[in-house]
C-alpha cells in the first residue's frame, strides 16, 4: 500500500492508523523502516511512540543503537527503537541480544535503516519504505510479510 504524506501531521496520522491496525503475535512485531536520510523514518517512529503513549522524547538512537520505552495498557510492554545506521555487520545487532528481543511477544520493534540488517529480520517483519518526494511530501509504502 502506497500513501502520500504532505506534512508531519499527515505522517503522524498514518503512523497512528498503522499502530491501530497492528496485532500482537507469538513473537515480537518487527517493523523495518527504510529510506534515505530525511525521508521520514524517525518522524514516523516518533508518531508511533506518541500513539502508544510514550511520554519521553523519541529520538533516533543512532549512537546508542537501541532505546527501549515502557508501554502501558498496550498489547506490548516495550517499544524497542533500533537504528542500524552505524552498524557495519548484522552480527553487531546479534551481539546486542537481537534473537532474544525478537522472541518476546511483548516487544514492538522499530528498526530504522533495516536494509543494513535485512538478513536477520524475521520473515514476519512489516516493511515500510519512505521516499523523499519534495521538501514536505513523502511517499510511504507499507508491505506486510
Which of the four pLDDT bands, split at 50, 70 and 90, describes residue 46? very high
Residue pair 58/40 in contact by the 8 Å Cβ criterion: no
Out of 49-53, 87-91, 123-127, 134-138, least confident range: 87-91
pLDDT digit string (tens) for 109-135? 999 999 999 999 999 999 999 999 998
Predicted local confidence at residue 96, as pLDDT: 86
Report the domain count for the chain: 1
Give the mean model confidence (pLDDT) for residues 77-89.
91
The proportion of the chain whose per-residue pLDDT surpasses 70, expressed as a percent, equals 97
Q: Give the residue numbers spanning the domain of 63.
A: 2-143
SS3 116: helix
Is the pLDDT at 8 greater than 80, yes or no? yes
- Name the nearest CA neighbour of 6 among 40, 47, 36: 40
**Cell numbers found for residue 85:** 545506521
Residue pair 124/143 in contact by the 8 Å Cβ criterion: no
The proportion of the chain whose per-residue pLDDT surpasses 90, expressed as a percent, equals 72
Residue pair 25/105 in contact by the 8 Å Cβ criterion: yes
Give the mean model confidence (pLDDT) for residues 78-88.
91
pTM confidence score: 0.91
CATH number (domain holding residue 50): 3.40.50.300
Is the pLDDT at 63 greater than 80, yes or no? no
Is the pLDDT at 86 greater than 90, yes or no? no
Which positions ≥6 away from 23 have C-beta within 8 Å? 29, 75
- Name the nearest CA neighbour of 110 among 18, 9, 36: 18
Amino acid at each position: 500500500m502506497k500513501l502520500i504524506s504532505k506534512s508531519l501531521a499527515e505522517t503522524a496520522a498514518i503512523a497512528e492508523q498503522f499502530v491501530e491496525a497492528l496485532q500482537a503475535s507469538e513473537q515480537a512485531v518487527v517493523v523495518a523502516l527504510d529510506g534515505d536520510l530525511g525521508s521520514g523514518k524517525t518522524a514516523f517512529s516518533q508518531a508511533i511512540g506518541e500513539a502508544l503513549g510514550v511520554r519521553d522524547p523519541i529520538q533516533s538512537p543512532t549512537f546508542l543503537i537501541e532505546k527501549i520505552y515502557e508501554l502501558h495498557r498496550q498489547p506490548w510492554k516495550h517499544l524497542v527503537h533500533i537504528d542500524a545506521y552505524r552498524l557495519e555487520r548484522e552480527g553487531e545487532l546479534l551481539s546486542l541480544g537481537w534473537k532474544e528481543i525478537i522472541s518476546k511477544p511483548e516487544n514492538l520493534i522499530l528498526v530504522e535503516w533495516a536494509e543494513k540488517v535485512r538478513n536477520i529480520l524475521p520473515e514476519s517483519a512489516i516493511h515500510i519504505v519512505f521516499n523523499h518526494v519534495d521538501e514536505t511530501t513523502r511517499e510511504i509504502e507499507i508491505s506486510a510479510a
